Amino acid sequence: MTSHHPSAAITGLGSYLPPGRVTNEELAARLDTTDEWITTRTGIRSRHWASPGTSTSDLAVEAGHRALKSAGLELAPGSVDAVVLATTTPDHPCPATAPEVAARLGLGNVAAYDIAAVCSGFLYALATASAQIIAGQAERVLVIGAETYSTILNPADRTTSVIFGDGAGAVVLSATRDSGQDGVLLGVDLGSDGANRDLICIPGGGSRQRSQPADPAPEDQFFTMQGKKVFAAAVTRMGESSTALLERVGWEMGQVDHLVGHQANVRILKSLARQLGIPEERAVVNIDRVGNTSAASIPLALADAAAAGTLTAGSRVLLTAFGGGLTWGSVALTWPDIAPC
């Protein structure tokens, strides 16, 4: 099939986890929690946390490098036309982290910007990057999701400390004139509900707090989440977004071979699959080994499932995510014949 506008296809995939693995037992030794509670309530057994001195750009550079290698691209100017980094944990409040990542990868003076959509960030980044390609503004874009949540977790808060992990994943999106090529993003659905912004929030550090006359409270720098409300909204919003997208793409739910949902809680993934009428075993799960890695979650799950041979070329893949904002999004594609690095 050919069309007037180019399409955007995934042509490379890379991932990186910092070496420090933290087990539930290690957390139970310092927090009022147990391996049993964490495993049964979340499905998480361990997560990776970056060592002190390691920041989000360090993980993003590693994953970006691997994605470029997977796509057969050099670390050189001209390889990509833009770098988009989805993250909740930028190296600094200002400037964005993507320009540093582009520079350290040796990609030249390309367009580079961050996307802030918390756990939906990677799908928002895929959407903007693919729109640049479809509009003819870019031929190839490096799209990265990278997080160091360990730097924003309140060590005294058991409800968040046991859930979140660090990591990075990246894809290369490339223009193609063949809209039927495997890897082409067939459709995108995005949404938000800012009325519920307080459910997931770092209260401090921004202009809302800086504009107040009162001295900031130190704990306001930490990430907070109202878990139960977030759980319910996650299942509903990912379900609605997935349904709306598949109607537009023209797929039946039963045709989805792999549901790659944001890895927030294994119970959310199972509820979502049940609600959509997709057999539970089609839901990709790697949260047991990485926890909730927010913007890195979807590409890490893809890399894991591709490396395990679960995702095979031509299979129908539904990506769906939900996060702070509130935000959510879904993307559909058939899996490309690529080797993840």
Contacts with ligand COA by CB under 6 A lie at 33, 37-38, 41-42, 118-119, 158-159, 162-163, 200, 227-228, 230-231, 234, 264-265, 268, 292, 322-324
Determine the residue with CB nearest ligand COA. 227
Give min distance, CB of 326 to ligand COA, in A. 9
Place of tokens 């309530």: 41
Of 24, 265, 286, 292, the active-site residue reads 292
Of 24, 258, 262, 286, the active-site residue reads 262
Rounded CA-CA distance 262/178 in Å is 29
Give min distance, CB of 318 to ligand COA, in A. 18
For helices 227-249 and 266-276, give the axis angle rounded to 10 degrees.
40
* Three-state secondary structure call for residue 8: strand
Q: In what order do the strands lie in the sheet with 82-86?
A: 2-16, 167-178, 140-147, 82-86, 111-115
Give min distance, CB of 68 to ligand COA, in A. 28
Can you read off the two tokens belonging to residue 86? Answer: 């989805």
User: What H or E segment, with its residue span, contains residue 331?
Assistant: strand 327-334
Residue 119 annotated in active site? yes
> Cβ-count burial of 272 within 10 angstroms (0-12 exposed, 13-18 middle, 19+ buried)?
buried
- DSSP H helical ranges for the chain: 24-28, 35-42, 56-70, 98-104, 121-134, 158-161, 207-210, 227-249, 266-276, 287-290, 297-307
Strands 2-16, 167-178: pairing is: antiparallel
Give min distance, CB of 265 to ligand COA, in A. 3
Can you read off the two tokens belonging to residue 210? Answer: 């800086």
Measured from the CB atom, is 196 or 221 closer to ligand COA?
196
Measured from the CB atom, is 119 or 172 closer to ligand COA?
119
Measured from the CB atom, is 165 or 340 closer to ligand COA?
165
Of 65, 119, 258, 265, the active-site residue reads 119
Yes or no: say if 144 and 302 are a contact pair by the CB < 8 Å rule.
Answer: no
Tell me the longest C-alpha to C-alpha distance in the chain: 61
Residue 262 annotated in active site? yes
Measured from the CB atom, is 231 or 251 closer to ligand COA?
231
Measured from the CB atom, is 323 or 340 closer to ligand COA?
323
* Three-state secondary structure call for residue 67: helix
Q: Give catalytic residues, as residue numbers.
A: 119, 262, 292
